[in-house]
Amino acid sequence: MVGVAVIGAGYWGPNLVRNIQATPQLHLKALCDLNVTRAQEVLGRYSTVRATDSLAETLADPEIEAVAIATPAATHLEVALAALEAGKHVLVEKPLASSYEDGVKLVNAADERGLTLMLDHTFCYTPVVQRLRRLVHDGELGDIQYVDSVRINLGLVQPDIDVLWDLAPHDLSILDAILPPGVKPVAVAAHGSDPRNLGRLCVAYISIQLSNGAIAHTHVNWLSPTKIRTTIVGGSKHTAVWNDLDPTQPLAVYNRGVDWSENPEAKRVSYRIGDMVAPALPTGEALRGVMAEFAAAIIEKRAPLTDGRSGLRVLAQLEAASASYAAGGTFVPVNGGTF
C-alpha cells in the first residue's frame, strides 16, 4: 500500500479523502490544511488519520510516499514542487500550474527524481470518455472532423481565475485524452465577456484548430440558469454524442452523416441515415478510477494516462486562449514545447 497525504480540505479535498480511503492500494496517512479544524471535520471524530496544518511536517513523514493536492491553482507550483523535492509522488488538481513555464518546472522536477506526476483530470476516467477514447483510437468513428462541447451552469464563480481556467480544462483534457496519435491542437481563438462586471471572464467560446484540419469548439459559462454538459465527436464514419446529464443513455453513436462522392464526373453530396447504438457502459465513480491509476502508476513505475505532460498540453491551450482573448480573438499558436 502507498502512504498518501491530501493537501487541502476545501471544496475538492474531501472527495480525494473519500476515494483514497476506498482504494485498496492507497493508505491515507494525513490531511493537511491551514485550517486544521476544517481538516478534522472532514476526517470525522473517530478517524485515525492525522490532521495537521504543517506542510513541512507532512512532507517530512517517511511513511507518506505520495500527496494529492487540492489547493488553489496559484499555489500548485509551490506545493507540488516542495512535494517533489521531498521525494513524494504527486497528484495535483487541474490546472497543473498557473502558467506553462511553471508547469515545465514541475514536469522536469518529477523526471529528474523518477517520480510520478499526475493530473486529476477526473472526466478522463469516466466510462464514457474511456469508451470515446477507444472509439477514436480504434478508428470506429473514422477520421475526426470536429469536436463540439458545451459546459455551462450557474456558478461556482471563482475568486482567483476566470471561466476559461476554471471550466475549460475539463474539456481540453478530454480532447487531449481522446485525440488519435498524431493529431494535436495547433492554434486557439477565444472570445468571451464579463456581463456582470465581476472583473473576469464569465462566458467564453474557444475554437481550436487541429493538425489534421479539423476543428474543436467548447463553450463554458458560469451564468447559465440551466446546466448543460454535452460533447459531440464527429467522425467520417460515425458520430458520438455524450450527454453527461443523461444517466440512462449518456453515450450514443450514430451511423448518420454526409458522404461526398470523389468521382470527378459526378461530385455530389449524399446523406447517410443509419442506426443509433447506445453502448452499455460500466458504472462507478470517475475519481475512484483516478486513484486506481495513481496507485498503479506508482507501483508499476509507469506514466499515468493524465501525466504531467498532458497537463502541459492543457496549459498551452489555456495560455493561447487567454492570449487570443487579449488580442481580440485572433488565432494564437499553441506552445508545442518539447512535450
Average pLDDT over residues 6-32: 96
Whether 152 and 168 have beta carbons less than 8 Å apart is answered as no
pLDDT number for residue 337: 60
- Position 9 in a domain: yes
Average pLDDT over residues 65-83: 95
| Same domain, yes or no: 273 and 293 | no
How large a percentage of the chain has pLDDT more than 90?
Answer: 86
| Same domain, yes or no: 38 and 143 | no
Q: Give the number of domains in the chain.
A: 2
| Same domain, yes or no: 322 and 233 | yes
pLDDT number for residue 261: 67
Whether 286 and 126 have beta carbons less than 8 Å apart is answered as yes
| Same domain, yes or no: 196 and 256 | yes
| Same domain, yes or no: 214 and 275 | yes
For the ranges 214-228, 257-271, 295-309, 324-338, the lowest mean pLDDT is seen at 257-271
User: What's the CA angle centered on 41, arms 18 and 59, to 5 degrees?
Assistant: 70
Domain CATH code at residue 227 = 3.30.360.10
Q: Judging by DSSP bridges, how do beta strands 89-93 and 117-120 pair with one another?
A: parallel
Residue 37 phi, psi dihedral angles, 5° rounding: -65, -40
Cell representation of residue 222: 458560469
pLDDT, one tens digit per residue, over 201-227 is 999 999 999 999 999 999 999 999 999
pLDDT at 339 over 60: no
- Position 338 in a domain: no
pLDDT, one tens digit per residue, over 104-114 is 999 999 999 99
| Same domain, yes or no: 239 and 179 | yes
- Predicted structure pTM score: 0.91
pLDDT number for residue 73: 86
As a 3-state breakdown, the chain gives helix, strand, coil percent values, each rounded to 5, of 35, 30, 35
pLDDT number for residue 161: 87
Domain CATH code at residue 25 = 3.40.50.720
Cell representation of residue 148: 463540439
pLDDT at 155 over 90: no
pLDDT at 84 over 80: yes
- Position 251 in a domain: yes
How would DSSP label each residue in 68-135? Answer: EE-S-GGGHHHHHHHHHHTT-EEEEESSS-SSHHHHHHHHHHHHHHT--EEEE-GGGGSHHHHHHHHH
Q: Provide the 10 A C-beta neighbour count for residue 29.
A: 21
Average pLDDT over residues 198-203: 92
| Same domain, yes or no: 129 and 169 | yes
pLDDT number for residue 266: 59
Quote the CA–CA distance of 99 and 119 in Å, as a whole number. Answer: 15
Quote the CA–CA distance of 186 and 183 in Å, as a whole number. Answer: 9
The DSSP code for 227 is E
- Position 26 in a domain: yes
Average pLDDT over residues 89-107: 95
| Same domain, yes or no: 248 and 143 | yes
- Position 339 in a domain: no
Average pLDDT over residues 78-98: 96
Quote the CA–CA distance of 169 and 314 in Å, as a whole number. Answer: 7
What separation in angstroms does the CA of 213 have from each of 145, 148, 168, 171? Answer: 8, 15, 22, 19
pLDDT number for residue 34: 95
- Position 38 in a domain: yes
pLDDT number for residue 77: 96
| Same domain, yes or no: 163 and 207 | yes
Spatial CA neighbour of 294 closest among 6, 103, 11, 68: 68
pLDDT at 259 over 80: no
- Residue 60 burial (10 A CB sphere; 0-12, 13-18, 19+): exposed
pLDDT at 338 over 60: no
pLDDT number for residue 159: 81
Average pLDDT over residues 306-324: 96
pLDDT at 135 over 70: yes
pLDDT number for residue 271: 79
pLDDT, one tens digit per residue, over 9-18 is 998 999 999 9
Element (H, E) at 174: helix 163-178
- Position 25 in a domain: yes
| Same domain, yes or no: 114 and 171 | no
| Residue 336 banded pLDDT, cuts 50, 70, 90 | confident
Task: Determine the 3-state secondary structure of 283 from DSSP.
Answer: coil
Question: Which domain range does residue 85 map to?
Answer: 2-120+287-307
- Position 276 in a domain: yes
- Alpha helical stretches, state H, 214-307: 286-300
| Residue 263 banded pLDDT, cuts 50, 70, 90 | low
What separation in angstroms does the CA of 299 have from each of 250, 271, 287, 292? Answer: 33, 50, 18, 11
Average pLDDT over residues 189-210: 95
pLDDT at 59 over 60: yes
pLDDT at 88 over 60: yes
| Same domain, yes or no: 328 and 186 | yes
| Same domain, yes or no: 230 and 187 | yes
Quote the CA–CA distance of 85 and 215 in Å, as a whole number. Answer: 40
Spatial CA neighbour of 205 closest among 153, 154, 160, 167: 167
Average pLDDT over residues 20-28: 96
Question: What does the mean pLDDT of the chain come to?
Answer: 93
